[in-house]
Amino acid sequence: MTAKDFEFISVWRLQATMPEVFDVLADGLSMPIWWPAVFLDSCELEPAGANGLGRVLDQHAKGWLPYTLHWQSRLADKEPCSRLTVEARGDFVGWGRWTLAQDGEWTVATYAWNVQLNKPVLRRFTSVMEPIFSANHSWAMARGEESLALEIARCRATTPAERACIPAPPPPTPSLGPALLATGSAARRLIRRLGQRAS
């Protein structure tokens, strides 16, 4: 079965300047710190070239489904304070692009994520699981928007006391997978019992 394309568009509104938002998003190594609900690890495999492009990060993430995803992201394009494009390879193959625009005191950050799932165990179920994969992505991005707003507040804080007043970002969420599997197993057992009674 060929991998299915997923095209997700997420729009975040943050009460911040474009440079504030861009600086956090451009630092892919800090994602596990400010977005821990999703990013488990991020480390540099290759530094950027002289033009600032080509940096490769090894990234490991999860949502609320019972699996983790591992991929390498390469910075393919960058327009300071307004655009970042990465190419992904690993459990995802494709690209992601952040585009920023100022709207008064708000920054609108639009993320386009156009990928194929390359993880064999997930590829087998893409046709039936697409709505669940989409919900998982939406959940992850909602945590990201909330977490980025908190990180910007931390960056703006000028004293330890101010930083201490800022809540921690949402933590990793236990997978709902075991609950979903248990529900599915219980439903199958009930269907079997009803079938046995009817015969």
More confident call, 64 vs 96: 96
pTM score, whole prediction:
0.84
CB 7 within 8 A of CB 113: yes
Nearest alpha-carbon partner for 14 in 6, 3, 5, 22: 22
Instruction: Give the model confidence (pLDDT) of 108-153 as tens digits.
Output: 999 999 999 888 877 777 777 788 889 999 999 999 999 999 999 9
Q: Which residue has the higher pLDDT, 150 or 177?
A: 150
What does the pLDDT look like over 19-74, one tens digit per residue?
999 999 999 999 999 999 999 999 999 999 999 999 999 999 999 888 899 999 99
How far apart, in whole angstroms, are the C-alpha atoms of residue 36 and residue 62? 10
| pLDDT score at 7 | 94
User: What is the model's pLDDT at position 187?
Assistant: 46
Beta bridge partners of 72: 58, 89
User: Please, which pLDDT band fits residue 195 given cuts at 50, 70 and 90?
Assistant: low
Band of residue 1 on the pLDDT scale cut at 50, 70, 90: very low
pLDDT at 114: 96
Strands 56-62 and 39-46: antiparallel
5-198 maps to CATH 3.30.530.20: yes
End-to-end CA distance of the chain: 37
Residue 79 vs residue 193, higher pLDDT: 79
**pLDDT at residue 107, as a whole number:** 99
Is-contact 38 143, C-beta < 8 A?
yes
Q: Can you tell me the distance from the alpha carbon of 135 to that of 78, in angstroms, rounded to the nearest whole number?
A: 29
DSSP 88-122: EEESEEEEEEEEEEEETTEEEEEEEEEEEE--HHH
Give the angle 32-77-149 at the CA atoms, nearest 5°: 35
How many angstroms separate the CA atoms of 28 and 59, rounded?
9
pLDDT at 173 over 90: no
pLDDT of residue 190: 46
Report the SS3 class of residue 162.
Answer: helix
Q: Is the pLDDT of residue 194 over 80?
A: no
